[in-house]
Amino acid sequence: MSQNTDTVAVLIRAKERRDGISTGAKVRRFLGDYGILVIFALVLLYLSIAAPNFLTIDNLINVVRQSSIIGIIALGMTFIMITSGIDLSVGSVVGIAGMVFAILAPASGTAFWLPMIAGLGAGLFVGFLSAALVVWGKILPFLATLATMAIARTAALVITDGQVVSGLSGPAEWIGSGFIGPIPVPVIIFLLAAVVCDFVLSRTKFGSHVYAVGGNEESAQKVGISVPRVLFTVYLIGGVLAALGGLVLAGRLDSAAPTAGLTYELQVIAAVVIGGTNLFGGSGTIRGTVVGVLLLAVIMNGMNLLGISSYYQQGVQGLILALAVLLNRWKSD
Q: Is residue 301 part of a domain?
A: yes
User: Of 42, 237, 276, which Cα lies nearest the Cα of 130?
Assistant: 237
Q: Is residue 4 part of a domain?
A: no
Domain that holds residue 150: 25-332
Q: Is residue 265 part of a domain?
A: yes
**CATH code of the domain covering residue 159:** 1.10.3470
Kind and range of the H or E element at 65? helix 57-82
- Alpha carbons 234 and 293: distance in angstroms, whole number: 20
- Alpha carbons 159 and 141: distance in angstroms, whole number: 26
Q: Is residue 136 part of a domain?
A: yes
Tell me the whole-structure pTM to 2 decimals: 0.89
Specify the length of the chain in residues: 333
Q: Is residue 20 part of a domain?
A: no
The per-residue pLDDT string of the chain (333 residues; one tens digit each, 9 = 90 and over) reads 444 545 545 444 545 445 555 566 666 666 666 778 888 889 899 999 998 889 899 999 999 999 999 999 999 999 999 999 999 999 999 999 999 999 999 998 899 999 999 999 999 999 999 999 999 999 999 999 999 999 999 999 999 888 999 999 999 999 999 999 999 999 999 999 999 999 999 999 999 999 999 999 999 999 999 999 999 999 999 999 999 999 999 999 999 999 999 989 989 999 999 998 988 888 899 999 999 999 999 999 998 888 888 778 778 878 887 877 777 777 666
Q: Is residue 2 part of a domain?
A: no
Query: 50: number of CA atoms within 13 Å, CB side?
Result: 15
Total structural domains within the chain: 1
